Amino acid sequence: MKLSSRQVAMIAIFAALYAVISRLPGIPTIGGGGRIEPVVILDPIVGILLGPWVGGLTSLLGNSVAWIIPSVSFYGLLNLPTGPVAAIVSGCLARNTKYSNWKVAAIVYALLMGVWYLTPPGLELYYYPFLHWIAFALILVFRERTHLFLNAEAKVKKVLGATICSFGAIMANHMMGNLIFIGSVGWFVSLKAIKDTIKSLGFFWLKSGLPHPEDPLAAIFAAVLPITIAERLLFTVFTVYLAYGLVIALRKSGLIDMG
């Protein structure tokens, strides 16, 4: 992949922006010693603006810089792929070329969802990824029209296009993070922290009337589902707001081409 001087400049600018935004407070992860960083909202944006492959590279570099400064954790290193996955999904939805289109985004989603249902939590919590299924459904329903919406003059269509791209990317990022978390338990995620969390959730389950999942990880995923819903929808709103303004500004300046 040959990069133009303009693309190199955009990569450098966004990588620096990752470093700045990563200093904002994040959301702690259970047992992992890490955080969900606010830079999550940048991943869909760089995908939309720079395309899936340059955007994915930008996300990888930016998240790497954010991981290094000021401290590092191996679990944080394992989570670096979550950003590029989000950028690839949003970038593919925002483009309609041979190697960058809605079909690639759909394949990524099919793989992520398929792997989820092979995990112990996925076997019990079939309902858990309902937001991911909604995002997947939007991709399949609107297909190449998402690209057309983003390039439309009408504000409503442009917002709709940005919403589909952003929501799809945010949820892909989340599912990738879930799978990394599941694979890390016992290795890089503290089993003791998991057990302590389950104990603290006991009273919650008694009051909720919900069936208690047998798998400890499934219990945690089910308990934090309301928080996950609020968190991901909020991330989507912020991402759409920023993406909408940046798409208009950078297209008018001629800095990006959303072919």
What is the spatial distance between Cα 194 and Cα 192, in angstroms, rounded to a whole number? Answer: 5
The residue ranges of every structural domain in the chain are 5-253
Cα separation, 83 vs 180, whole angstroms: 13
Q: Give the integer Cα–Cα distance in Å for 72 and 62.
A: 14
Which pLDDT band, with edges at 50, 70 and 90, does 32 fall under?
very low
Q: Which of 103-107, 128-132, 148-152, 198-202 is predicted with the least confidence, judged by mean pLDDT?
A: 198-202
pLDDT on residue 227? 85
Task: Using the Cα atoms of residue 223, residue 110, residue 47 and residue 94 in order, give the sign of their dihedral.
Answer: negative
CA 172 and chain centroid, separation: 5
d(CA 183, CA 29): 14
Q: What's the mean pLDDT when you consider all of the chain?
A: 85
Q: 184-234 pLDDT, tens per residue? A: 875 655 555 555 655 555 545 445 555 667 777 888 888 888 888 998 999
- The closest alpha carbon to 26, from 66, 65, 85, 83, belongs to 66
Question: Distance between CA atoms of 77 and 67, rounded to whole angstroms?
Answer: 7
Minimal CA–CA distance to 241: which of 30, 36, 22, 48?
48
Predicted TM-score (pTM) of this structure: 0.88
Spatial distance between the Cα atoms of 40 and 247, rounded to a whole number of angstroms: 18
**pLDDT tens-digit profile of 67-89?**
887 666 777 788 899 999 999 99
- Least confident piece of the model among 30-44, 84-98, 170-184, 241-255: 30-44
**Angle formed by the axes of helices 52-68 and 42-50, nearest 10°:** 150
pLDDT tens per residue, range 35-75 = 566 789 999 999 999 999 999 999 999 999 888 876 667 77
The CA distance from 95 to 93, in Å, is 6
As a whole-number percent, the residues of the chain with pLDDT over 90 amount to 54
Average the pLDDT over each of 111-115, 153-157, 166-170 and give the range with the smallest value.
153-157
CA distance 25 to 129: 26
* pLDDT value of residue 56: 96
What distance in Å separates the CA atoms of residue 38 and residue 238, rounded to the nearest whole number? 10
Taking Cα atoms as reference points, which of 212, 233, 231 lies closest to residue 222? 212
Share of the chain above pLDDT 70, in %: 82
Q: What is the CATH number of domain 5-253?
A: 1.10.1760.20
Look up residue 246 and give its amino acid: L
What pLDDT, on a 0 to 100 scale, did the predictor assign at position 23?
74
pLDDT of 254 reads 75
Which residues 6+ apart lie within 8 Å of 97 measured at CB? 259
